[in-house]
Structure 1
Amino acid sequence: MRKRVFTEKEQAQLKGNPHVQAVSDKAITYSDAFKRLFLTENEKGKVPRTIFEEAGLDIEIIGLKRIQSAGKRWRAAYREHGAEGLQDTRKTSSGRPLERELSVEEKISRLEAQNQLLRAENELLKKPRSTRKADVEEETKLVAKQKFQLIQQMIEKYQLKRLVRYLCEMIGVSRSGYYHYFHEKSAQKRAAHDAADEEVRDIILKAYSFRRRKKGARQIKMTLENQYGITYNLKRIRRIMKKFNIFCPIRKANPYRRMAKATHEHRTCPNLLQRQFKQGVAGKVLLTDITYLTYAHGKRAYLSTIKDAETNEILAYEVSDKITLDIALNTLHQLKRNHSHVVKDAFIHSDQGFHYTNPQFQKLVKKMKLGQSMSRRGNGWDNAPQESFFGHLKDEMDLKGCGTLNDVKREVKSYMIYYNHYRGQWNLKRMPPARYRQHLLQFA
């Protein structure tokens, strides 16, 4: 539908209004002050017709469709360009890009802005945020809001208000997105969102510090569910941890380490396990091994454990400052005293270390009516769950704070309680080992 043409009498009447700059037979040019007034009143809830009437403009002459179209156009211009978008630039701009030669001052200001923006962007990219591979790959790029904040910092620091378009193009974001990000309503939404995130952060930190053991996102999720009855999506936990720089140290794999390809079994103790760690019965497959614990300026203690391969529960352990045969024998004695739920056809699996090939150890195993199985020589994969446990233990224990062997024993005891009764495991239906054992016995 074509727009209504204004008569000379109507044009004269419209020109008499202080809010009108110019009128032709087909168009009206309003003052910048009226456009700002319109947006302010419209934000308060007034409809466009009421705003025009209160400004003394004749609705019958202008027409409702023309009023609605003007309001829509002004709101869009303000969202995209801010107050600058409301200015009438038809007399000063032909709509074509400026082709004049930039002055020396303008070139210097642009180069300075570009250099400072790139430096700030590089600094943000260098900040350590996470050790997860997925997060590291994601952080090679800045998200849009970080770029908007960088642009604003550069504009405020170097007085570059006229270079918004240039800075946005240089860093790869839209100018409309920049203005929208700093619009009052957007800022209010972000503030409300940040306040909600801070509440979640405080809850996550409770789980993160639970029993003095730092945790990653999955451990936090399981701790919240098991200890506090709170369920959060794993992605939400990771987002909050990344936002507030909450990190858990994660072991890095040694790229130079290679497992020996070994096939030689022990002559008297064959490999009964054959890496079938999960056999559906608690107390059947028992894994054992010894590791060292470094504390107090290079001192060493030794830890021997027996682990239930089905539930991952540590059934017995011994800490000593000597790596003699006694450490392995004492671990077996503890197993005999503390755990009567070991099944009849249970067997204990180890490597071919001298503790486990010793006749005394083998005699005690037989006396306890256990079978004995051994890994192939030099092949750590044959006892992988036990090796994995030692890795987590060394990551999560505070051995640096131990000054004596008794301190080490107290720390190991504290960790064993935490590991067996509080530390959920993803593959155990997110339960701690002791609770998972009860779950299996309940449905046995």
Structure 2
Amino acid sequence: MRRTLTRLALLVLGAASLPACANGYDGDRRGHGNDRDSVNVQLGPRPFFLVEEMSDGPLKKRLQHCAARRDDYKPTLFSIGHRGAPLLFPEHTKESYEAAARTGAGIVECDVTFTKDKELVCRHAQNDLHTTTNILSTPLANKCIKPFTPAQFDAAGTLVAPAAAECRTSELTLAEFKTLRGKMDAFNPRGRTVAEYQAGTANWRTDIHAGPTSGTLLTLKEAIALFKKLGVKMTPELKSPSVAMPFDGFSQAAYAQKMIDEHKAAGVQPRDLWPQSFDINDVLYWVRNEPAYGRQAVYLDDANVVADLPTAEQLKAYRAAGIRIVAPPLFALLTADTSGNLLPSPYARDAKAAGLDIITWTLERSGILADGGNGFYFQTFDSAIKREGDVFRVLDVLAEQVGVLGVFSDWPATTSFYANCTGQK
């Protein structure tokens, strides 16, 4: 969910801006359609492990009480499957999406890009096939824009040049894309062979669900059909192309429209769809040209550090332009005081004051928390994170003090458990 964009587009909205109106989350946070509410949500042991890992206090007691008395956990829109459930399953695969639904995610994400023949498929980036699929070990490797080059070392064994490759969906037809298998997103920069390069999965993830007969890649149409069968709502993200647009006559506007059209053709109602983009022009396109679906369009914030975040005035301009929902990374919403308490950030207060709803990303993506140095997502409040169970402190402040609509997670069971136990819808 990361790309660089400019906010200068807001400077020219002026009279073209749409009038402000009520917040866009439609309030229907229960009904999922189909038979989803009858599905037996299976959380597995991790949420319960995390509860026991918490420091003693009222929240721990509340969650322990819930864990002891409940066995009827339900899907929840508060829990959003980020790329499916990629803590344990290859991202954007059938198996990952099914795991997200089974662990209680009420909304699941398909990141959308396109193939050489302009068909929409689910991949986190147009140019990530070399790290998320087995392409380098197939004959299709010869279609990669940058073939695999092995790592180079000097006589002392010091790495001189890391292994590298780049393979794009836009270099493959849909038929070719469908022959690939998803794997855990990882690479080994010290790899001397393709096999070594395609290894590198973090030790807090697993390759156990990434075998040669799993990792099923999906088109957007197939993902929509699967999501409808699972009874989950949908949050497709229009990914920034790696190729120049228009691509063989396929414009950015046509790309943005096609993503909506495929949901419309499948009968997906506007209330069940949260289209996303890091490009404000995509979001404004939906607001203006597909107002029913644009009502829940999500503007993703690509800030890398606090200094990159929009000001209060910029947030007000988003709302005036018709944008109703923003989705910044976790660090944008939280801060910590000297006593180790987690608090809403200035950005969180400014966004709410501007009349914007908030979704955030991404939980369960930072590995072991207790060892400190938890990186990008925790950068503004890492000093307050001491235990694995602190993930529930994070969720509690996001839900009760910031008031987020939902939280993307790489393992939705954790967020689903919290939501079920605290009354989040």
TM-score, length-normalised on structure 2? 0.23
Q: Which has the larger radius of gyration?
A: 1
Higher relative contact order (CA 8 A, sep 6+): 2
- Bigger proportion of residues as helix: 1
